[in-house]
Amino acid sequence: MTENPGGEPLRRTPLFDTHVSLGGRMVPFGGWEMPVQYPAGVLAEHHAVRNAVGLFDIGHMGQVDVTGTDALEYLQWVTPGDVSRLEDGQAQYSFLCAEDGGVMDDIIIYRIGDGHFLVIVNASNTDVDFGWMRSHLGSGVRGVGGDGVSLTLLRPERTLLALQGPRALETLQRCTDTDLSGLGYYRVMRAHVAGVEALVARTGYTGERGYEIAFDARHAVAVWNTLLEAGHGYEVVPCGLGARDTLRLEASMPLYGHELDRSVNPFEAGLDRVIRFEKGPFVGAEALKAVQSSGRTRALIGLELTVPGIARMGHPILLPSGEVIGAVTSGGPSPTLRKSIAMGFVPVGQAVEGADLLVEVRGRRLEARVVPLPFYKRAPAKPRTKAPMA
């Protein structure tokens, strides 16, 4: 088994052998051995998701069940969003923030039912997140008692797949008797997929209409193969981490370790819409109130290179005068827009749409322009609706 740089063995999802048999090139990622691409290549996978449908193994993501009479108030304490706004079958993008307001992880919370929530966390942060969440059990804050909340890490017993693209609904509908047409964005419902009981969520990380499917890991190969077979008429392809990254960059979705980390607060990342001070106390609230009062000092911007070149994480961002004012957090060529794009942090005063800046790439200073985010956004096919939990 492949090892981490630190010497520990890399984890594998239940689909590892399937990826290898399909020619997937396996690489270390967040403590896991995952496919970065398949023989068709990243560009083909990217365009498949933009134009038809792609299938991703996201079984490396962490899944935490939060249950009990105090589950809601517990999540109100450990996250800055207002979880009480969620109806059964609804999801919410949020964070785990440290006391100083820094982002420990970005997460998605699904309300499965009364006193039952599912929290999805990033692969590389799962163990730390779970330990931190456990440390807040029985805190007494917001009336949360020691016996009113139970946390269960569902990995490796459960896994996740993502089916993404404009043909995702048609493909998935072939694999279930449940009508998914009414499932709105950031909604979740129970269904049987390929005969397997699952949670199907209208969420994703590509900027396209898509679904994320959570189910018993023992059925991973069967469900994967059924979805691939169902999408043959739509040219469905298996997709790896490479396409996942180019797709999420075009959609300007943050990646932990790039746009988000302990040194970044939600205001700087332009994600302060998540924070709901009116709900009452939560971890990091006082620090975040101070940021709101004093104002953020830096902001996340979008950059479009106006000359040939590729900006990557860590490349310096400069004023035309040559003064370094920030650094690229994510960057690369956009297969859809056929431009070189990047995101990065700069002082608030320099985060002006249309402003000319420079990005230093291997000693060359390349001209770039500040552009609005997201770089790419597909218009929704239908108005958002909600579907009841089955």
Provide mean pLDDT across the span 60-78.
97
Residue intervals in the chain for CATH 3.30.70.1400: 62-153
What does the alpha-carbon distance between residue 305 and residue 363 come to, in Å, rounded to a whole number? 16
pLDDT at 7: 65
Determine how many CB atoms are found less than 10 A away from the CB of residue 388.
11
User: What's the 3-state SS for 345-377?
Assistant: EEEHHHCCCCCEEEEEECCEEEEEEEECCCCCC
Helix axes 241-250, 42-51, angle to 10 degrees: 50
The pLDDT value recorded for residue 8 is: 79
CA 371, distance to chain mean position in Å, is 22
* CATH code for the part of the protein at 16-59+157-250: 3.30.1360.120
Q: Which two tokens stand for residue 98?
A: 């440290």
Fold of domain 297-371: Elongation Factor Tu (Ef-tu); domain 3 (2.40.30)
* 211-220: average pLDDT: 98
Note the pLDDT tens digit of each residue in 115-173: 999 999 999 999 999 999 999 998 888 888 778 999 999 989 999 999 999 999 999 99
Q: Average model confidence (pLDDT) for the chain?
A: 95
The confidence score (pLDDT) of residue 68 equals: 96
pLDDT mean over 253-274: 98
Does the pLDDT of residue 377 top 70, yes or no? Answer: yes
Q: In this predicted structure, what is the pLDDT of residue 139?
A: 80
Quick one: pLDDT at residue 298?
Answer: 97
Q: Smallest Cα–Cα separation from 342: which of 325, 359, 354?
A: 359
CATH superfamily of 62-153: Aminomethyltransferase beta-barrel domains (3.30.70.1400)
pLDDT (0 to 100) of residue 234 = 79
Kindly tell me if the per-residue pLDDT of 221 is higher than 80.
Answer: yes
| % the chain with pLDDT above 70 | 95
Give the span between the Cα atoms of 200 and 213, in whole angstroms. 5
**Cα angle 80-81-82, degrees, rounded to a multiple of 5:** 125
**Closest residue by Cα to residue 241 from 255, 223, 224:** 255
Residue type at 116 in one-letter notation: H
384 has a pLDDT exceeding 90? no
Per-residue pLDDT reduced to its tens digit, 265-288: 999 999 999 999 999 999 999 999
* 82, pLDDT greater than 70: yes
What are the residue ranges of CATH 2.40.30.110 in the chain? Answer: 297-371
Helix, strand, or coil here: 133? helix
What are the tens digits of pLDDT across the range 313-348?
999 999 999 999 999 999 999 999 999 999 999 999
Average pLDDT over residues 75-95: 98
State the pLDDT confidence band at 365, using cuts at 50, 70 and 90.
very high
